[in-house]
Amino acid sequence: MNVEKRVNSVYRKRGNPDLVMNAYNNTLKQWKVPFDSIYVSTSFGSVHVLVSGKENAEPMVLLHGFGFSSTMWSENISALSDHYRVYAIDFPGDINRSVSAQSIKNKTDCALWFIEMMDRLHIDQAHVCGHSYGGFLTLVLASRVSERIRKIVIISPGAGLQPQSIRFFIRCLLAGMRPTTKRIQNLMDYMTGDGNIINQAIKNQFLVSMQNALPRTKLFVSYIKDNELEQITVPALLLIGDQDIQYDVERAIKRARETINGIEAIVVPHAGHGLPLEKSEIVNRFMLDFLGRKMNK
């Protein structure tokens, strides 16, 4: 698939779009269930979505991590699409198939974009689940457009509950500025829990993507204030690996419980930042149990 370089292109000066799309497609071969590949037109650009599951099932939206794409859910999609109509979104401005027309610059833009997406997909309400950067976005959306959301699952959220450590920030920054193979591989190993294995196709996609492109998202992860988190009224599940290197895990759990009413917060043992990739069966089980339960009002 040839991809044109546009004004808002994520590609580096000498980046090769075909290499990135080939890596994306190689990961997509890991998708264990049938899917439709569709584009949704929004005022922020043409957004690519992978859709799986029965048409009449409850809708679920998946939001991926920074520098990744919707294909990162390849270890989870089979279990999730058995129960839900799953919409795995390529967030515009990141390295994926979406084409950004204008940047999502702030939380208000993010909420407007989400409403447009939901309207174009003819979805009134959906469960929203996000990992890392996608977890941060999930918190933002739940605090602003809760009327369009049933439940949320927040997995290893970026910065929203606790500021990211300087060490984590610098390692990510250096990987973006000088994306040598060794530096990118070391970053992935640093984010992965001890002894855990990540799907090789996903690792290769991240390596190729970062060497040929750079996310151009303008809405960066940041510490979300108490009064914003207190606006979250939908049922919420938080999952964080005990070896997550972004911040102090226990402090993040404690703050979530103090600010988000009724949240279920779980520390997953022997897991790093790549939780849904490292411990997919455990994450799938927690998600399906939580989403399938009827909640007391």
Active-site residue set: 273
How far apart, in whole angstroms, are the C-alpha atoms of residue 171 and residue 186?
A: 9
Q: Which amino acid is at 85?
A: R
How far apart, in whole angstroms, are the C-alpha atoms of residue 245 and residue 295?
A: 32
In the Cβ-directed half-sphere of 284, how many Cα atoms lie within 13 Å?
Answer: 17
How far apart, in whole angstroms, are the C-alpha atoms of residue 135 and residue 247?
A: 14
Cα–Cα separations (whole angstroms), residue 174 to 171, 207, 287: 5, 14, 34
- The alpha-carbon radius of gyration of the chain (Å, integer) is 18
From the number of C-beta atoms within 10 Å of its C-beta (0-12, 13-18, 19+), residue 111 rates as middle
- 139 membership: H or E segment, kind and range: helix 133-144
How far apart, in whole angstroms, are the C-alpha atoms of residue 228 and residue 235?
A: 16
Tokens found for residue 49? 């979505």
Residue the block writes with tokens 């950067």: 133
CB 237 within 8 A of CB 153: yes
SS3 117: helix
SS3 216: coil
CB 116 within 8 A of CB 85: no
